[in-house]
């Protein structure tokens, strides 16, 4: 989920809209689409244009169109780990999700498109009797988003299983990089810094016992339900893990469990999560994050860095 910056135009001209209709069909273009409908936080103002391409060719044409018209665009997956401003998003939001989710499993190799949900892919991998993906099967996002941020949980990270990644640049060129070339690190890959678009990936797993794989997935699912506030909308973990500390514990020890600004709250179940208790605005979340960072720093002299990506216009 990367914001692709070019020279932003203040309005999208009718020619751009007509071309989007031509490329993907009118049913796949929504104007003034509320982003709260497309983020797990259930927060966000309208996108000028919300587009769902079906093929790599359509995606490439949209990218070239936006560049030619100097229209900003933003790649969206499932909308997790994302806070969209209350003022919405200028330009084109391109969603690769569901409609861009083919996969093939051959032996221990899995090739999948960026729009497939990790939970769906995890079930298919389990049925194939492959192990190594269990950590990712419960992460509420798409493969593309997981690659972009090197998603991880319960001791595993995407870098551990990625053999290669299929990418597109801002000129519509297609190419591939190996896992080593992706510069994976904690919540980081080369994607964001180079403004690449993730099209898909090849994963390398191992044969395993299907029952053991299923048991491990159920164990991790239970841990998530027990420890995480899944009953409320959120963007997942709000802060990156500071070196030598756990963000959630620092926030709890600072006395901020349940701290609330408007409809946004530090989760009472897990202080590492900010949740939407109902009608929270992006402004609520930003103020809460600001307060939490300041109070934790004042108490422990530790600087918390948000993990959630913030895009759009914040009022």
Which is nearest to 165 in space by CA: 153, 181, 151, 152?
181
The partner residues of 93 in beta bridges, in order of sequence, read 50, 74
Choose the catalytic residue: 187, 189, 216, 267: 187
Active site residue 237: yes
Choose the catalytic residue: 19, 90, 134, 307: 307
Terminal Cα distance for the chain, rounded: 21
Active site residue 234: no
Nearest-10 Cα torsion for 105, 38, 72, 264 = -120
Residues 6+ apart with CB under 8 A from 238: 247, 272, 273, 274, 289, 306, 307, 308
Choose the catalytic residue: 80, 189, 237, 267: 237
Active site residue 187: yes
| Residues acting as catalytic residues | 187, 237, 307
């Amino acid at each position: 989920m990367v914001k692709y910056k070019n020279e932003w135009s203040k309005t999208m001209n009718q020619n751009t809209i007509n071309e989007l209709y031509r490329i993907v069909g009118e049913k796949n273009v929504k104007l003034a689409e509320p982003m709260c409908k497309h983020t797990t936080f259930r927060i966000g103002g309208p996108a000028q244009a919300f587009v769902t391409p079906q093929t790599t060719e359509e995606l490439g044409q949209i990218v070239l169109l936006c560049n030619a018209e100097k229209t900003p665009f933003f790649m969206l997956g499932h909308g997790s780990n994302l806070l969209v401003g209350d003022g919405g998003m200028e330009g084109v939001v391109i969603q690769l999700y569901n409609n861009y989710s083919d996969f093939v499993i051959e032996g221990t190799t899995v090739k999948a498109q960026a729009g497939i949900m990790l939970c769906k892919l995890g079930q298919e991998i389990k049925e194939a009797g492959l192990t190594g993906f269990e950590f990712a099967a419960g992460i509420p996002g798409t493969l593309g988003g997981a690659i972009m941020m090197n998603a991880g949980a319960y001791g595993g990270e995407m870098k551990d299983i990625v053999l290669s990644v299929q990418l597109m640049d801002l000129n519509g060129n297609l190419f591939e990089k190996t896992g080593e070339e992706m510069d994976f690190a904690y919540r980081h890959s080369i994607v964001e810094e180079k403004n690449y678009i993730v099209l898909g990936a090849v994963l390398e797993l191992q044969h395993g016992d299907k029952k053991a794989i299923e048991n491990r997935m159920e164990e991790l699912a239970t841990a998530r339900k027990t420890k995480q506030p899944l009953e409320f909308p959120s963007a997942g973990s709000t802060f990156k893990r500071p070196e030598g500390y756990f963000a959630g514990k620092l926030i709890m020890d600072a006395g901020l469990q349940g701290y609330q600004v408007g409809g946004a709250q530090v989760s009472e179940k897990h202080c590492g999560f900010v949740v939407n208790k109902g009608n929270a605005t992006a402004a609520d979340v930003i103020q809460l994050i600001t307060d939490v960072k300041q109070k934790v720093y004042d108490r422990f002299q530790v600087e918390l860095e948000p993990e959630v990506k913030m895009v759009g216009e914040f009022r």
